[in-house]
Amino acid sequence: MYAQSTRKRGVYVRGTIGCARCGHPIHIYKVAGLSDEFSLRCSHCGARGFYARHTLLIEQMPERRRRPRN
């Protein structure tokens, strides 16, 4: 049990970009597969816009899983 508590937890990467119309943050969970320009729909106002990959804010967050996969 001691070995599990000292194990380093993983991190996952999430991208965030603000909606061009309302400014609400749009979260992107698969950042690695994005092209240089992509289209997203805002979940708050429903507007669709084109965004450049270099405008993404990258956040590294701790892994959310509590139990390791087998």
Tokens read off for 8: 């380093």
**In whole angstroms, what is the distance from residue 28 CA to residue 16 CA?**
6
Q: Is 25 within a domain?
A: yes
Residue type at 36 in one-letter notation? D
Question: Has residue 40 been placed in a domain?
Answer: yes
Task: Tell me: pLDDT of 10 over 80.
Answer: no
Averaged over 27-51, what is the pLDDT?
A: 91
Range of the domain at 49: 9-62
Would you say residue 58 lies in a domain? yes
Location of structure tokens 């000292």: 6
Amino acid at 21: R
Phi-psi label, residue 54: left if phi above 0, alpha if psi -120 to 50, beta otherwise: alpha
pLDDT attached to residue 60: 84
What predicted TM-score, i.e. pTM, was given to this entire model? 0.67
